Amino acid sequence: MNLPNPQLPGFNPDPSVVCVDDAYYLATSTFEYLPGIPIYASRDFVDWEQIGNVATRPGQLADDVPTAGGAWAPTLRHRDGVFHLVVTDAMGRGALHFTATRPEGPWSDGTPLGIDGVDPDLAWDEDGTAYITYSALSFAEGRHRGIEQVRVDLVAGRVLEPPRSLWSGTGLQFPEAPHLYRRDDWWYLLLAEGGTERGHSVSIARAKTPDGPFEPAPVNPRLSARSTDRPVQNTGHSDLVQGPDGEWLLVLLGVRPRGMTRAFSALGRETFVTRAQWVDGWPEFEPVPLAPRPGVVRFRDDFDSAEFAPQWLGVRRLPEQLGSLSERSGFLVLAADGSTLDDARPVFIGRRQEHQTARAVVRVDVRDGVGGLAVRYDESSYYSIEAGGGTVVARARLKGLTQEWAIPFTDTDLELAITSRRPRDVGPIPATSDVVELSAVIAGEETVLASVDGRYLSAEVTESFTGRVIGMFARDGVVAVDWFDYEGSDA
């Protein structure tokens, strides 16, 4: 079996996977974006389809979390015909337990679990006792206590005992992402440590009972890309599953850095997979290969549907709270509300940028407003191209610094484009991830207003947990979007 890598390109960190009736379902983190927690499905670990999201209604996740808060590190499991997902709504509702009878949903409203920590895992012992194992990061106390565990009543959302400390790794920083598995006579505790940056790694211990005591593997960490020249870095935050042909697989996050010192990961943390083999009672993991899918990926939305596709995202608001698909037939209509892209709740609807070589184009009608196309990491880091009010303006916003380029434009209909491409004419070793071009297509002729260094819109510079999200916005009045077209490749 040839496994493409990344499995889920673009902003898809903290993967958790479960196998049910020969199908695989995978969830990832979404932080401040809504709908929250996408669910992907596959039968072969080659082709994945997003079939829904967990948090699709107001109130399931908090909508006022600060940047980097929100849905952290879901664990997806299945038992007795029910899908279970536990997750942290960081700086929001806290640790939550969601259920559904179908992976695509609808999912429950989410029951608070009452634990003081993040990255919850859910496992059951033979008599049905439920265990939540978690990374004990306390926002209230401002400290990290390592890996802890409690027995819980999932129906009542009630912790049944004081938390106990489990094995917390080898002493590297920030033990997190614990997952507990039963295999043969052992319970295995898999976790990440070393931080989610270049030191990220995977370690494991085992015990005879789910609550320990745990003995570490003879060698830990079992997997890390730190201090190597591997093309996939930051490898960690993983989950184990048996693949379609019975071999063991490890899904995990990683980044694809570029630049002279490979310092800039434009797309943020993505989902990858690698193989595992059990040797003398311990899993051994292969280094994570880079195996991008060949060819060109295309996506187009003509906004003819009555509902938003599950890939569309809003910032702290659902897409249907931000735009209308029915107000004007065949258009997405965005009505400005006084916010801008600098604000925490902009009128912005986007989708993950999945390739560093990519081009997104929209056709907009700006007769009644000002708006356009943007690629963002957060409210302080984005590039945009907008039209209306007599001008077309390209804008780069970088941690409080703003630069603008403008040309006059008195018409009302035009195409706006954002293109990410490899650097050219910068010597044999480019010092950046990519170059981002902001352009307008007027009367069939394209004008590039700005060509911006892509390194500033990367995970390392923005220090964001998310990734590039590209989409439409309205800054003033009403903007109508005729279509959105995306084309990308890993060339």
* Interstrand relation of 401-408 and 82-90 (parallel, antiparallel or unpaired): unpaired
Distance CA 467, CA 270 (A): 9
Active site residue 14: yes
Q: Output the CA–CA distances (angstroms, integers) from residue 375 to 13, 47, 212, 226, 368, in the order listed.
A: 18, 26, 46, 29, 23
What is the distance between the terminal CA atoms of the chain, rounded to a whole angstrom? 23
Length of the chain: 491
Give me the catalytic one of 176, 193, 239, 378.
Answer: 176
Which of 14, 239, 354, 379 is an active site residue?
14
Q: Report how far residue 180's alpha carbon sits from residue 183's, in angstroms, rounded to the nearest whole number.
A: 10
- Pairing relation of β-strands 143-153 and 186-193? unpaired
Do 392 and 414 contact (CB within 8 A), yes or no?
yes
Catalytic residue positions, numbered: 14, 176
